[in-house]
């Protein structure tokens, strides 16, 4: 399987701007710029997109591991906070809230940490990956 994302950049780093798109068309010509990446300008940025990808990948992996153990989650909600320092993604902090009937805290923690280590996006990132969770 191969998936594509694309970007177009026009102009200088600080004054230029660009767009990002996904092969699926779900995101098409979304604006990004120096301001949207390093300040609070309108648009997206690569770190935000990586965060969404990591959160989605982790959530699916956790669901798979829960299913293998006989648990069916009602809801898995994950946010990834990406930290960019000195031109490098240093960490992805996963913030997880889940409702999983019948599971105890120890089993959930074991499976959540396994998903943190094994999801393909976690393997891709060289950054430190941390996790906090709230089991409901």
- Residue ranges and CATH numbers for the domains of the chain are 5-38 (no CATH), 51-135 (3.30.300.20)
- Does the pLDDT of residue 115 top 80, yes or no? yes
User: Which pLDDT belongs to residue 40?
Assistant: 87
- Asked whether the predicted pLDDT for residue 66 surpasses 90, the reply is yes
Q: What is the pLDDT of residues 17-49, one digit of tens each?
A: 999 999 999 999 999 999 999 998 899 999 999
Predicted confidence band at 126 (pLDDT cuts at 50, 70, 90)? confident
Q: What's the CA gap between 93 and 129, in Å, rounded?
A: 6
pLDDT at 87 exceeding the cut of 80: yes
Query: Would you tell me how many other CB atoms lie within 10 Å of the CB of residue 90?
Result: 12
Select from 51, 121, 127 the least CA-distant residue to 90.
127
Cα(13)–Cα(33) distance, integer angstroms: 8
Residues 6+ apart with CB under 8 A from 30: 19, 20, 21, 43, 44
CA distance 58 to 55: 5
Whether residue 125 is predicted with pLDDT greater than 90 in this model: the reply is no
Per the model's pLDDT, the better-predicted residue between 136 and 56 turns out to be 56
Report the chain's terminal Cα–Cα distance, integer Å: 35
pLDDT of the residue at 82: 95
Measured CA to CA, the distance from residue 111 to residue 97 in angstroms comes to: 14
β-strands 5-10, 17-22: how paired?
Answer: antiparallel
Does position 114 have pLDDT exceeding 80, yes or no? Answer: yes
Supply the pLDDT for residue 127: 76
- List the structure tokens of 40: 């609070």
pLDDT above 70 covers a percentage of the chain that reads 100
pLDDT at 113 over 90: yes
């Amino acid at each position: 399987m191969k998936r594509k994302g694309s970007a177009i950049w026009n102009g200088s780093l600080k004054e230029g701007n660009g767009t990002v798109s996904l092969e699926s068309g779900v995101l098409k010509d979304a604006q990004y710029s120096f301001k949207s990446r390093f300040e609070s300008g309108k648009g997206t940025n690569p770190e935000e997109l990586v965060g969404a990808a990591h959160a989605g990948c982790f959530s699916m992996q956790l669901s798979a591991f829960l299913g293998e153990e006989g648990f069916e989650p009602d809801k898995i909600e994950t946010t990834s906070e990406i930290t960019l320092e000195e031109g490098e993604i240093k960490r992805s902090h996963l913030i997880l809230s889940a409702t999983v009937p019948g599971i105890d805290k120890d089993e959930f923690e074991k499976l959540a940490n396994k998903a943190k280590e094994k999801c393909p996006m976690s393997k891709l990132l060289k950054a430190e990956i941390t996790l906090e969770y709230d089991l409901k």
